[in-house]
């Protein structure tokens, strides 16, 4: 039986738990005043005469993501791989009770004075009640804030994953995920250590308090083929929250490389869509694949 009360049910109903990275404050990037003329970045990674296409996902945008080149490419691919989908096996409320609530430790018990002050500011921006958030673990509060932050910013457009997954489903193309259900996603978050749990909330607060302009600069630069801002954000996040970064990003990057090896055993050429911040930096997928003997080319 779902024991979440009506007041909290409204908050839980907003949850869209996605493994995305937040953006900290960044200096203006003057070249972004120029029109974007490049296609959305796309890579080919190859080994032993076999090929995998790889592109990046972002959180929601003001409008649906579109890239005709990649959308056409998908129609010639054998399968689509993404991080997750929107499938639940168990009721969301049941999963929240199991993984998102610690009855012995309400939110206040996890946070220091600075965390609480920043949470007040972020909740005000997102028009969320602190009372509604109080029963939850920090990771869940961070996820709820991120979702409402995108709504408050007016970012309701479909992401690359959503657009491409819709097209793959319509075409009857196989669609595989790192996490096959949202149940697995919530269980993954539920297994965070106390330090990682709090770091995820701090990381989400960074994104909300930096404001949508910071995110937009990174995404626009990426679309123009400029990776420097994304790499700088990954370096900042890794320095500020190393325990979280190791589990949320870098360990999963290595797991993706193992999946790539298995993809080579299947027929055809798959298209892989992973979060933008998985792509960059010394421990990113592109650099790690190159070190492990893959041929990595932007196309």
pLDDT value at position 9?
Answer: 42
Residue 33 in any domain: the answer is no
H/E run at residue 146: helix 138-152
pLDDT value at position 273?
Answer: 97
| Tally of structural domains, the chain | 1
Residue 167 in any domain: the answer is yes
pLDDT in tens, 253-277: 999 999 999 999 899 999 999 999 9
Residue 84 in any domain: the answer is yes
Query: How far apart, in whole angstroms, are the C-alpha atoms of residue 289 and residue 274?
Result: 14
Q: Give whichever of 8-17, 19-28, 255-264 has the largest mean pLDDT.
A: 255-264
| 26: pLDDT strictly greater than 70 | no
Arithmetic mean of pLDDT over the chain:
88
pLDDT value at position 35?
Answer: 36
pLDDT value at position 36?
Answer: 38
Residue 24 in any domain: the answer is no
Domain containing 157: what range?
A: 42-298
Residue 110 in any domain: the answer is yes
Determine contact, residues 74/82, Cβ cutoff 8 Å: no
pLDDT in tens, 197-231: 999 999 999 999 999 999 889 999 999 999 999 99
pLDDT value at position 155?
Answer: 84
Query: How far apart, in whole angstroms, are the C-alpha atoms of residue 172 and residue 174?
Result: 7
pTM for this prediction: 0.86
Residue 203 in any domain: the answer is yes
Percent of the chain with pLDDT over 70: 87
Banded pLDDT at 25 (limits 50, 70, 90): very low
Determine contact, residues 249/55, Cβ cutoff 8 Å: no
CA angle 25/26/29 to nearest 5° reads: 150
pLDDT in tens, 121-171: 999 999 999 999 999 999 999 999 999 999 888 888 999 999 999 999 999
H/E run at residue 177: strand 175-177
Banded pLDDT at 39 (limits 50, 70, 90): confident
Residue 90 in any domain: the answer is yes
Q: Which residue has the tokens 């900042």?
A: 236
Residue 13 in any domain: the answer is no
Query: How far apart, in whole angstroms, are the C-alpha atoms of residue 157 and residue 135?
Result: 30
């Amino acid at each position: 039986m779902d024991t979440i009360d009506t007041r909290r049910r409204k908050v839980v109903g907003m949850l869209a738990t996605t493994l995305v990275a937040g953006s900290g404050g960044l200096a203006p990037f003057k070249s972004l005043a120029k029109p974007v003329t490049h296609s959305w970045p796309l890579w080919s990674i190859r080994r032993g005469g076999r090929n995998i296409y790889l592109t990046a996902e972002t959180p929601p945008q003001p409008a649906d993501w579109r890239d005709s080149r990649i959308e056409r490419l998908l129609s010639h691919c054998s399968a689509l791989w993404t991080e997750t989908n929107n499938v639940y096996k168990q009721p969301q409320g049941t999963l929240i009770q199991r993984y998102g609530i610690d009855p012995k430790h309400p939110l206040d018990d996890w946070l220091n004075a600075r965390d609480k002050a920043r949470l007040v500011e972020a909740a005000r921006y997102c028009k969320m009640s602190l009372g509604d958030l109080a029963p939850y673990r920090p990771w869940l509060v961070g996820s709820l804030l991120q979702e409402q932050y995108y709504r408050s910013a007016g970012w309701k457009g479909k992401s690359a994953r959503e657009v491409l997954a819709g097209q793959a489903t319509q075409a009857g193309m196989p669609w595989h995920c790192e996490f096959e259900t949202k149940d697995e996603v919530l269980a993954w978050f539920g297994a965070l250590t106390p330090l990682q749990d709090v770091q995820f909330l701090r990381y989400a607060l960074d994104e909300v308090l930096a404001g949508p302009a910071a995110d937009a600069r990174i995404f626009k630069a990426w679309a123009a083929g400029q990776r420097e801002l994304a790499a700088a954000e990954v370096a900042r996040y890794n320095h500020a929250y190393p325990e979280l970064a190791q589990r949320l990003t870098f360990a999963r990057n290595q797991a993706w490389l193992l999946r790539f090896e298995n993809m080579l055993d299947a027929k055809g050429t798959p298209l892989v869509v992973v979060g933008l911040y998985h792509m960059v930096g010394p421990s990113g997928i592109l650099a790690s694949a190159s070190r492990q003997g893959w041929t990595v080319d932007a196309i």
